[in-house]
Chain A
Amino acid sequence: MTESLIACDYCDLLQKIPSLEPNQTAKCARCGSILYRSKKDSLNRTLSFTLAGLIFFILANSFPLISLDIQGRTQTSRLITGCVDLYRHGMLSLAALVFATSILMPFLKFIGTAYIFMPLKFSRLTWKTKPIFKILKTIHPWGMIEIYLLGIFVAYVKLSDMATINIGIAAYAFIASILFMVAADASWDPYETWNKLEKNHE
């Protein structure tokens, strides 16, 4: 009996799992929160968006993000430079927070998603898939690269009347990795994933 039922995450109302066409969303009958969504070609799309995002995220971390010209002197910074400089100013906790939310968590999210979806594509289960799935769900709100991007924009405008700012190649890769992360999140169908995980497990 529990097979065909689902409880709303926000109000705990028991409901039948609706049968949906691809790309439809079911909302809770009582509180209106999203209950269940069905995505077209979810496995392939999530996997390819994640891999593309991972490649761009590695590029974004490897090249200069932004540089500043002031009275003939140039200063270049990378994604990691902010954390290093915060640490050098004695703000270890702040440096750790910025590192965790802008580099570590997004990276784990890309790697973890790829780790689960790649074997799933070939109908296999790899070591510790389920715990990694749970970790992904837990760290989800802590990857904040889209917020970091808005931070770059604000810093750019603030500094633009003081100096000349040049946007580096990594900034474009960074934007691309955010777009792919959003696309991967949007095409992910957790129910389908769990059904496949269970089927492979048996």
Chain B
Amino acid sequence: MNNLSAIKASLASCHFCCQLSKSENLPAKQYSACPRCGGTLHFRKPNSISRTWALILAASILYIPANILPVMRVTWKGGSDSDTILSGIMGLMEEGMWLIALIIFVASILIPMLKIISLIFLLISVQIKSSWCPKDRTMLYRVVEGVGRWSMIDIYVISIMVALVQLGAVATVEPELGAVFFASVVVITMFASISFDPRLIWDSFEESNR
């Protein structure tokens, strides 16, 4: 009983309701329906590695315009300024708003970058069948899975400011194209972390410890 994974016992765990089903006749790549909740049942998420790679690649490409293009334009006191994510943070720091600058920096720059790097690291470690520190890599995945959503802050800030500051020539905030690229990076990296299957980390660990 010790250290037996469900797949070795021909049991597939339902993603939706955690019910285990005997699936002896189920080839590794196919799936059936969970007898309890009717959800699709598979041993491992289908094509996890190639799906995650594709999404990560797309996110890395979109990450460039997301950071180069301005995300919003502020018209105030006769002047008009376009801000990228980074120049927005610099502006906040010049005005002494350190806390806000830090929040935006962590959520908009640090998290998306670390998320892409972490997922690439996890993918490669699984592909070379590494058995190095599986517990820590699982922990890394759980962090990536949990914090990714917080990158949406900047999109909400833009949306709130656009709604609130609509006073013609006096003060106006408009969204710009960079915001669309940035939002797509956030959404695509969220899908990438959903499509990665952390159980693959343990499959190679079990193989090398046999």
Name the segment of A11-19, A40-48, A119-127, A180-188 touching the other chain. A11-19
Is B155 a contact of A98 with CB atoms below 8 Å?
yes
Q: Which B residue sits closest to A10, measured CB to CB?
A: B198
Nearest-CB distance from A107 to chain B (Å)?
Answer: 17
Interface residues of B in 149-169 (CB under 8 A from A): 149-150, 152-157, 159-167
Enumerate chain A interface residues (CB-CB to B < 8 A): 2, 5-7, 9-14, 30-33, 66-68, 70-71, 73, 75, 77, 81-86, 89, 91, 93-94, 97-98, 101-102, 130-131, 133-134, 137, 141, 144, 147-148, 150-152, 154-155, 157-159, 161-163, 190-191, 194, 198
Query: Which chain A positions have C-beta within 8 A of B20?
Result: 2, 5-7, 14
Flag whether B90 is at the interface (Cβ < 8 A): no
Instruction: Evaluate contact between B165 and A159: CB separation under 8 angstroms.
Output: yes
Chain A binding site: helix, strand, loop or mixed by DSSP?
Answer: helix
How far in angstroms is the closest Cβ of chain A from B162? Answer: 5
Per the bound structure, the CA–CA distance linking A188 and B125 in Å amounts to 35
Number of interface residues of B (CB under 8 A): 68
**New A-B pairs, 6, CB < 8 Å, besides A32-B139, A94-B159, A133-B37:** A11-B198, A66-B164, A70-B167, A89-B175, A98-B156, A194-B17
Using CB atoms and an 8 Å cutoff, list the residues of chain B in contact with chain A. 1, 3-7, 9, 11, 13, 15-22, 36-39, 76, 92, 95, 97, 99-100, 103-104, 134-135, 138-139, 141-142, 149-150, 152-157, 159-167, 170-171, 174-175, 179-180, 183-184, 187, 190, 194, 198-199, 201-203
